[in-house]
């Protein structure tokens, strides 16, 4: 398949989890992928995976919360490939699960810097490059916790993701006259390093954590990174040419049932 032949795609947080799966999915469909991550080694691993499939990708180390890093990312991608057509603004961090009254202001600030300021900076700096090519697409990473779900100890994370959903609409409005579409994906629980980190250190704790979600999710399975990648590629493709400012839940129905509907859900979590 070559839905994205000749497209140059920037994916942030592409060294792991959803970002990595999406970078690989874009490459499978013909895109050239700039694999951006705060950890260069992980970005290089994704690039190696793409190269093994015969694809073209470039690893770039950057912290999405830093404006100078974004300017460098864009210069390097344009220097290598001459253009940018698509951004998946995905990089993000989870919180440490503390209730807001116990949360340090510095932890709040870091979460907002990566999860919300990072999204703003990505939109701000990529837009001129997309406009230069006559249009393009941005997909922002939000979450089911941006208004649908509430999770104990997730206040800062959820506020950051609600901000992403809102900023997506504003950027969509402002970018539409230039032929740039901007949408957001809102996954429920997806099995990645970020979600496993909430579960605890050992395998048994992690199994119990994901089992708990499995029981709550009407479709009876925990989401995988590829489930999100499929939706990102749809938003980025011409099939979504009349869709902008939209948010898509990808949660197996998780938010149709409250947390307490799951069997044996302790509250607050132990
Ligand atoms: P993941 O496996 O931890 O991947 C996130 C990647 O982003 C990691 O490689 C991480 O590097 C990188 N990263 C962290 N901070 C960065 C920064 N400042 N600049 C550049 N890269 C940075 O987690 P994931 O689950 O795939 O998460 C991807 C996105 O999906 C996040 O925005 C997350 O909030 C969102 N999301 C996840 C879930 C879920 O259940 N997993 C649900 C809804 C939304 P390090 O590992 O070195 O920090």
Q: Which of 130, 131, 139, 126 is nearest to 168 (CA)?
A: 139
- Give the distance (Å) from ligand 1 centre to CA of residue 194: 6
pLDDT at 263 over 60: no
Nearest alpha carbon, ligand 1 atom 24? 17
pLDDT at 66 over 90: yes
Question: Is the Cβ atom of 226 under 6 angstroms away from ligand 1?
Answer: no
Whole-model pTM: value is: 0.96
pLDDT range class, residue 268, cuts 50, 70, 90: low
**Helix, strand or coil for residue 86?**
strand
- Give the distance (Å) from ligand 1 centre to CA of residue 214: 21
Catalytic residue among 81, 157, 178, 267: 157
Nearest alpha carbon, ligand 1 atom 6? 13
CB 114 within 8 A of CB 91: yes
pLDDT of residue 216: 87
Question: Is the Cβ atom of 193 under 6 angstroms away from ligand 1?
Answer: yes
pLDDT of residue 220: 94
**Helix, strand or coil for residue 89?**
strand
pLDDT of residue 200: 76
Question: Is the Cβ atom of 254 under 6 angstroms away from ligand 1?
Answer: no
Q: What is the pLDDT of residues 207-216, one digit of tens each?
A: 888 998 898 8
Q: What is the pLDDT of residues 96-134, one digit of tens each?
A: 889 999 999 999 999 999 999 999 999 999 999 999 999
157 assigned to active site: yes
Dist. CA 187–CA 146, nearest whole Å: 10
Question: Is the Cβ atom of 64 under 6 angstroms away from ligand 1?
Answer: yes
Q: Which of 170-174, 191-195, 241-245, 259-263 has the lowest mean pLDDT?
A: 259-263
| Phi and psi torsions of 260, nearest 5° | -75, -10
pLDDT of residue 261: 61
Judged on CB neighbours under 10 Å (0-12, 13-18, 19+), 63 is: middle
Q: Which residue has the higher pLDDT, 87 or 268?
A: 87
Question: Is the Cβ atom of 252 under 6 angstroms away from ligand 1?
Answer: no
pLDDT at 230 over 70: yes
pLDDT range class, residue 270, cuts 50, 70, 90: low
Dist. CA 66–CA 91, nearest whole Å: 13
- Give the distance (Å) from ligand 1 centre to CA of residue 114: 10
Question: Is the Cβ atom of 191 under 6 angstroms away from ligand 1?
Answer: no
Residue to probe by mutation, ligand 1, list 10, 15, 18, 255, most atoms within 8 Å of CB: 18
DSSP 129-186: HHHHTT-EEEEEE--TTTTT---TT-HHHHHHHHHHHHHHHHHHHHHGGGTEEEEEEE
pLDDT of residue 206: 85
Dist. CA 195–CA 17, nearest whole Å: 10
Query: Of ligand 1's atoms, which has the minimum distance to the CA of residue 225?
Result: 26
pLDDT of residue 226: 98
Looking from the CA of 173 toward its CB, the CA atoms found within 13 Å total: 4
pLDDT of residue 212: 86
pLDDT of residue 258: 76
pLDDT of residue 72: 98
- Give the distance (Å) from ligand 1 centre to CA of residue 14: 8
Q: Where are any strands of DSSP class E within the chain? A: 8-12, 32-37, 57-61, 86-89, 136-141, 180-187, 247-250
Q: CATH assignment of 8-261?
A: 3.40.50.720
pLDDT at 267 over 60: no
Q: What's the chain's average pLDDT?
A: 94
pLDDT at 145 over 70: yes
Dist. CA 66–CA 114, nearest whole Å: 9
- Give the distance (Å) from ligand 1 centre to CA of residue 70: 17
Dist. CA 113–CA 133, nearest whole Å: 29
């Amino acid at each position: 398949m070559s839905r994205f032949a000749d497209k140059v795609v920037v994916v942030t947080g592409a060294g792991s989890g959803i970002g990595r799966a999406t970078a690989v999915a874009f490459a499978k469909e013909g895109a050239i992928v700039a694999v951006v991550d705060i950890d260069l080694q992980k970005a290089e691993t994704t690039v190696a995976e793409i190269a093994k499939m015969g694809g073209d990708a470039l690893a770039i180390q950057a912290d999405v919360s830093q404006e100078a890093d974004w300017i460098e990312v864009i210069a390097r991608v344009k220097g290598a490939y001459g253009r940018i057509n698509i951004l998946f603004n995905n990089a993000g961090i989870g919180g440490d699960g503390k209730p807001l009254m116990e949360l340090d202001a510095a932890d709040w600030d870091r979460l907002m810097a990566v999860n919300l300021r990072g999204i703003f900076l990505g939109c701000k700096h990529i837009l001129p490059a997309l406009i230069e090519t006559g249009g393009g697409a941005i997909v922002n990473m939000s979450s089911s916790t941006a208004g649908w779900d509430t999770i104990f100890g997730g206040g800062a994370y959820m506020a950051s993701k609600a901000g992403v959903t809102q900023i997506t609409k504003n950027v969509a409005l402002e970018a539409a006259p230039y032929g740039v579409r901007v949408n957001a994906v809102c996954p429920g629980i997806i099995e990645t390093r970020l979600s496993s980190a909430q579960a605890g250190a050992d395998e048994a704790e992690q199994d119990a954590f994901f089992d708990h979600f499995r029981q709550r999710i009407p479709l009876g399975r925990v989401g995988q990174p590829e489930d999100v990648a499929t939706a990102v590629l749809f938003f980025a493709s011409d099939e979504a040419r009349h869709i902008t400012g939209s948010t898509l839940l990808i949660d197996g129905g998780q938010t149709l049932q409250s947390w307490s509907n799951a069997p044996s859900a302790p509250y607050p979590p132990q």
